[in-house]
Structure 1
């Protein structure tokens, strides 16, 4: 494929990405707009395509995802936090500790290199964890593989639990394919200014993943106070997801794919272990705080916020509690991710330099 012009390769990559994303979206698969381009990128990389995504596009995608995370933080989240903050903070801390424990076990007894295990087992925020991982020396390809394998399993399990407890599955929301070119100009300009601030922050070497963290923190504060209004039209999200998906997918090699497939058994064991531990936290909520079983399970589920939200709304459980706890955990995981990864690696007795070298081999 390397003898075909870059323009033709890009055109074919875009077409395949759209087809895969549409198929995954039709099947209600989580993060379809990211996974479609990523899978297409993997296919092209394995065929020898001579394509690569500029790093500035990847940084811009990080900034957009930061705005997306900020958008989940709302006044309703603050109200729920004010009402149940001791309980929520305890559960969030437990889930983060569980993720660190599973990552530590995967590093010590598995075959994953370096802090890739720590980032890949972070419970929640799959897109954010994937976008941040490379800035801290992890193998972004394996982190993406681990995160979305877990999301897939968790969402299937959560849907099954909802069906078993209530006798029906959550109905997926109506799909809209409008590109959103009619988005209001002022909120769009404010959002793009946040994205620009994130891109500028990425130049600061003292702030790894600043492209994601600056829009996330600034956007959450300003948007929740009504000072600005973050808007993310579909075309902007599509561009960000495609850039991130291609950036990851085009880095894959035959050796990486073979290694990822060989690691599936240990990744499945890690996923089910994390789910069991989070299930213990759900039992605590149910037994000690009187939260109904389904709300407790969904609130502590280590899956994606968007997919859990769909199941929660369709199941008729305490949606406010579920979304508040999931949102706060998402923020906590993103902020604590670097510290937890370093701590896990230090406990395992491996230097950061050695882990980065291992991840790049």
Structure 2
């Protein structure tokens, strides 16, 4: 109970501070930082999966409310740009992973699996059979989510992009449209269940998002998301990531942490290079391009995009295409490279 009190109190304080500073995604970043502090201090919090899955469903509904069905036409009309950007991100991450493995910066093929830009659970499960340290792989995957979210929020601030609705007083407890709220909650609950039944990776976020876009486009439902409900959802997403950074994991990774951080920053920088090409080659505004090409953490990027004045449709179109490509390409490509890099000594690191 004491740990929960510390987590909630620290989350509220940091979230309020970042919100006061007009930081993008303050209500997610505050709880995320608080969760890291509590977990690293040795605090044990049993975090049930169901609330987090519901939070992902609600964030999917939030993006569905902001993204029109015409997003599919945008992807079809600019498929060359989307394909090139996505393949470049996958190629860059694979190259960095290959380089870390060749230089033996991390044991076995850990670097190769850890650098995959997404599909964290898939990569962690497959990594152990290829001589990788699955604890370091998990750390690399989720540390990148934290760093991508932090850097994206910082870039938004540096570019002087205003927080969406920053000058409008937020009504935390508005009088809801109960029918619309019920429809939204049903989509946020049923969507993840369908995703689990169909075994769709990242489906807790994707199915409600896609379903919401289609249903609202045809007037079959209205999405109602009161501010208090989204604040809870943002908090749950932040906690889910931050609580993974337990003290034993950080102690185990202490020696490798500088190399992991360096490789992650290199990946973020190279993806920012892709964003620069979109800015100069396609006329996309810098922050939209940066958020669209950020490697991993689609739900975190969705929250940041929704809280800033960027082209949310473009960001989520690129993130969704990249997520699907990574889920199909990254395990195959990474396993192919790992089989050629693995030596007999790597079988039992």
- Name the TM tier (shorter chain): 0.7 to 0.9
Mapped contact 1:63–1:195 kept (Cα < 8 A) = yes
Matches within 5 A, 1:135-154: 137=124, 141-154=139-152
After superposition, the Cα gap between the structure-2 partners of 1:204 and 1:272, relative to the gap in structure 1 and judged at 3 Å, is same
Mapped contact 1:71–1:230 kept (Cα < 8 A) = yes
The reply to whether residue 32 of structure 1 matches residue 26 of structure 2 is: yes
| Equivalent position SS for 1:178 | coil
Q: 2:94: which partner in 1?
A: 104
Among 65, 75, 81, which residue is 1:71 paired with?
A: 65
Distance 1:346 1:186 in 2: 48
The reply to whether residue 269 of structure 1 matches residue 274 of structure 2 is: no
| CA offset digits 1:29-52 (Å, max 9, x no partner) | 332222222221221122222312
Distance 1:242 1:308 in 2: 16
Distance 1:307 1:249 in 2: 17
The reply to whether residue 94 of structure 1 matches residue 84 of structure 2 is: yes
What TM-score do you get using the length of structure 2 for normalisation? Answer: 0.75
Deviation at 1:192, TM superposition (A): 0.5
After superposition, the Cα gap between the structure-2 partners of 1:239 and 1:296, relative to the gap in structure 1 and judged at 3 Å, is closer
What TM-score do you get using the length of structure 1 for normalisation? Answer: 0.73
State the Cα RMSD in Å: 3.2
After superposition, the Cα gap between the structure-2 partners of 1:144 and 1:23, relative to the gap in structure 1 and judged at 3 Å, is farther
Alignment size in residue pairs: 309
Deviates more, 1:227-236 or 1:194-203: 194-203
Gaps of 5+ in 1: 1-6, 121-131, 163-168, 286-290, 314-318, 352-357
Among 149, 173, 182, which residue is 2:175 paired with?
A: 182
Q: 2:314: which partner in 1?
A: 325
Gaps of 5+ in 2: 101-105, 126-136, 295-300, 341-346
Deviates more, 1:52-61 or 1:147-156: 147-156
| CA offset digits 1:148-194 (Å, max 9, x no partner) | 4234435545665x5xxxxxx33332264533352211111111111
After superposition, the Cα gap between the structure-2 partners of 1:296 and 1:40, relative to the gap in structure 1 and judged at 3 Å, is closer
Deviation at 1:19, TM superposition (A): 0.7
Q: 1:344: which partner in 2?
A: 333
Distance 1:210 1:199 in 2: 6
